């Protein structure tokens, strides 16, 4: 007890106030009325965190089916490249795949040969389940805060639990999208992981400095998820190979057959739809970073608001940058095994758990008003750097089998480190508030037999902290509640913390 939350900082949880701004018209006018009715389907005896965990479990179930049907994240067949007389003209030239060092694992898991995965994609119906799972996750993630207000169980544990599930969902969802877009085991899939994790980390970094979660008019948790759901549905109808179609060819304007484009003195690239989709996503990441910097600057005192004042917040991106560069270096040093085989899947899981642990440390610092955790406080960042250096200089990773052992070993360590963090922090907060995480603990009323004050109530009685306040959102609106009871909430905010 007290490893991650020292006793000197535990009472700072009482000063917790959740703040958010949601500018999404989609959530305000379309999704929020739906969410208000959806939450009524859940009994008041169900804990908000249990609803969040249920949503993550659905996405994890989608991921397990992905491993069974399509661990290579592609159909295994690509159109003929333009250099070979075909029409496929991707942004980066394709590279050949290598036999998988993990093929024995997937063969045992599915009863199919490794060649089967190379020649067959996932069945079409699978992508409809991906769409249903992700939409359900978004909905359950949105109503957990409403459930917390219904049950009177709001508090800081909810935000920590919510962000933790979102961080894990980021990596799982990215792998599902890679399969739907037929990206395969490629650098585009790696780029997708970097972009999605960067988006989530930047939002967390922004919240640490401003104290407010900002969701723009077009945000990842709302419109971004709906866009991905649409991708899954289209893939269900058209198949993953559809996304390899050139944008110009889709509109009947292929450069080789269109007289005007063919007459131009330069090569007109018929960029595949999946390449274009990822390029737009990268542009969205840049806008997100710019908006975060702007919000951080606005949150600063007017007298210290200048470019130099942003240097310190920017340096706090260094742990994430170090983690990302180390992962890219590790993959580059052993590309044949780590990227061109299904060993990439456990490597991506390690990457996702390390990123989730990283984000959780930042959120915990925000909740306890502690200094921003530096790279040295992130053991999994250090582990990644060491693994990348070892891959380059070949101290341990001298053979293919050693590389496999290194990846699986890092995944096991990451799982243990993250599990320890979750167990310790949730346990600390639950003991402090005398609550449960996944169930609602009914306590005798004050003054009755069997009632005892929690450490949080004792500290509050002595004036050491303020009562935990939930839903101090900006702007504040009154959600239409079918029960007839008006509840103050942020207009459609997704990230609603809840603790029992």
Question: Which positions are catalytic?
Answer: 163
| 181 contacts: CB under 8 Å, gap ≥ 6 | 231, 235, 240, 243, 274, 277, 278
Contact between 30 and 494 (Cβ < 8 Å): no
Of 335, 306, 137, 128, nearest in space to 230 by CA:
128
| Block residue for tokens 């590389």 | 403
87, two tokens = 């029409």
Of 129, 119, 127, 134, nearest in space to 74 by CA:
119
Helices 344-367, 318-333: axis angle to 10 degrees equals 170
CA distance 80 to 65: 29
20: which strand partners? 213
Contact between 176 and 66 (Cβ < 8 Å): yes
| 52 contacts: CB under 8 Å, gap ≥ 6 | 140, 141, 144, 161, 162, 165, 498
213: which strand partners? 20
487: which strand partners? 479
Which parts of 251-307 are beta strand (E)? Answer: none
Angle at 415 between CA 329 and CA 404, to 5 degrees: 50
CA distance 74 to 180: 8
Alpha helix positions (H), 181-224 = 187-210
Of 325, 348, 8, 338, nearest in space to 179 by CA:
348
Report how far Cα 119 is from the mean position of its chain's Cα atoms.
30
* N-to-C CA span, the chain: 19
Torsion from C-alpha of 481, 485, 487, 493, nearest 10 degrees: -10
Q: What is the DSSP letter of 380?
A: H
Contact between 88 and 82 (Cβ < 8 Å): yes
Contact between 367 and 497 (Cβ < 8 Å): no
Of 80, 169, 171, 68, nearest in space to 121 by CA:
68
Q: Considering just the CA atoms, what is the radius of gyration of the chain in Å?
A: 24
């Amino acid at each position: 007890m007290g490893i991650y939350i020292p006793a000197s900082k535990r009472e700072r949880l009482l000063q917790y106030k959740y703040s958010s701004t949601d500018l999404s018209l989609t959530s305000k006018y379309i999704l929020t009325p739906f969410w208000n009715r959806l939450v009524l389907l859940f009994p008041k005896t169900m804990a908000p965190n249990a609803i969040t965990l249920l949503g993550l479990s659905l996405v994890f179930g989608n991921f397990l089916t992905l491993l069974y049907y399509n661990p290579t994240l592609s159909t295994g067949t690509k159109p003929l490249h333009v250099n070979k007389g075909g029409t496929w003209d991707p942004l980066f030239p394709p590279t050949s795949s290598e036999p998988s060092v993990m093929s024995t694992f997937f063969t045992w898991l599915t009863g199919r040969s490794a060649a089967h995965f190379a020649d067959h994609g996932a069945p079409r119906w699978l992508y409809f389940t991906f769409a249903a799972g992700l939409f359900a996750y978004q909905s359950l993630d949105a109503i957990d805060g409403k459930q917390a207000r219904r049950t009177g169980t709001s508090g800081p544990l909810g935000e920590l639990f919510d962000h933790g599930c979102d961080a894990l969902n980021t990596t799982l969802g990215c792998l599902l999208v890679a399969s739907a877009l037929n990206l395969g085991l490629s650098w585009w899939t790696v780029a997708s992981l970097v972009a999605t994790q960067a988006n989530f980390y930047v939002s967390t970094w922004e919240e640490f400095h401003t104290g407010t979660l900002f969701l723009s008019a077009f945000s990842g948790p709302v419109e971004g998820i709906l866009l991905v759901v649409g991708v899954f549905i289209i893939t269900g109808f058209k198949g993953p190979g559809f996304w390899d179609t050139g944008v110009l060819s889709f509109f009947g304007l292929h450069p080789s057959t269109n007289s005007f484009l063919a007459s131009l003195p330069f090569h007109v690239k018929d960029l595949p739809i999946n390449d274009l989709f990822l390029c737009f996503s990268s542009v969205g990441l840049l806008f997100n970073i710019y908006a975060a910097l702007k919000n951080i600057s606005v949150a600063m005192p007017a007298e210290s608001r200048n470019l130099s004042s942003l240097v310190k917040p920017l340096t706090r991106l260094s742990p994430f940058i170090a983690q990302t560069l180390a992962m890219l270096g590790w993959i580059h040093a052993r590309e044949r095994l780590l990227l061109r085989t299904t060993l990439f899947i456990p490597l991506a899981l390690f990457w996702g758990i390390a990123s989730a642990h990283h984000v959780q440390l930042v959120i915990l610092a925000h909740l306890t008003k502690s200094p921003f955790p530096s790279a040295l406080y992130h053991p999994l960042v250090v582990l990644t750097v060491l693994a990348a250096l070892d891959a380059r200089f070949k101290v341990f990773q001298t053979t293919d089998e050693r590389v496999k052992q290194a990846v699986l070993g890092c995944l096991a360590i990451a799982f243990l480190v993250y599990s320890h963090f979750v167990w310790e922090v949730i346990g600390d907060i639950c003991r402090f508030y005398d609550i449960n995480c996944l169930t609602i603990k009914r306590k005798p009323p004050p003054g009755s037999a069997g009632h005892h004050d929690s450490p949080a109530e004792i500290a509050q009685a002595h004036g050491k902290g303020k009562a935990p306040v939930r839903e101090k959102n900006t702007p504040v609106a009154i959600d239409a509640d079918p029960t007839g009871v008006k509840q103050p909430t942020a207009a459609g905010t997704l990230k609603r913390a809840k603790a029992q």
